[in-house]
Amino acid sequence: MSDNTNDPILPIPSDLYREIAGLYGHINQMRDQLNRIGERYVDLAHSPQALAVDNLGEPIEPIDANGAVLTALDDADTRLYWVETAIDEARKNASRLKLTDQADQERERRLAEQRASGSRRRTR
């Protein structure tokens, strides 16, 4: 352990583990939203006569532009799957971490000092 009181107070590994686990909810929300948006673009694909494109870029047919959107949304969903897989690996290894007894005691001591100095500043 460092004796430098300017070093950051170490986080508790189990707290970080829980934060990693919280990422799954965000990923699932994004995947759900991607699927909902994709379904709406599929609806557009069923009505190609209702689609047009602007003339700001390379010429493209409306149905092809819509298909490119669907492909990109599918690609984003696939990438989120791989993000989830990487988080699984991080979580597996994070579950094994803990502070040593000495590090935990030092952490608690520094937090207590921090709380005490904060309460002294407020009472002045």
Longest pairwise C-alpha distance within the chain: 74
End-to-end CA distance of the chain: 33
| Average pLDDT of the chain to the nearest whole number | 93
User: Count of H helices and E strands in the chain?
Assistant: 3, 0
Residues 25-78 pLDDT 10s: 999 999 999 999 999 999 999 999 999 999 999 999 999 999 999 999 999 999
Taking phi over 0 as left and psi of -120 to 50 as alpha, with beta for the rest, 16 belongs to alpha
SS3 51: coil
62-94 and 13-45 helices, crossing angle to 10°: 160
Q: Read off the pLDDT of each residue in 69-93 and give the average, rounded to a whole number.
A: 98
Q: What is the pLDDT of residue 80?
A: 98
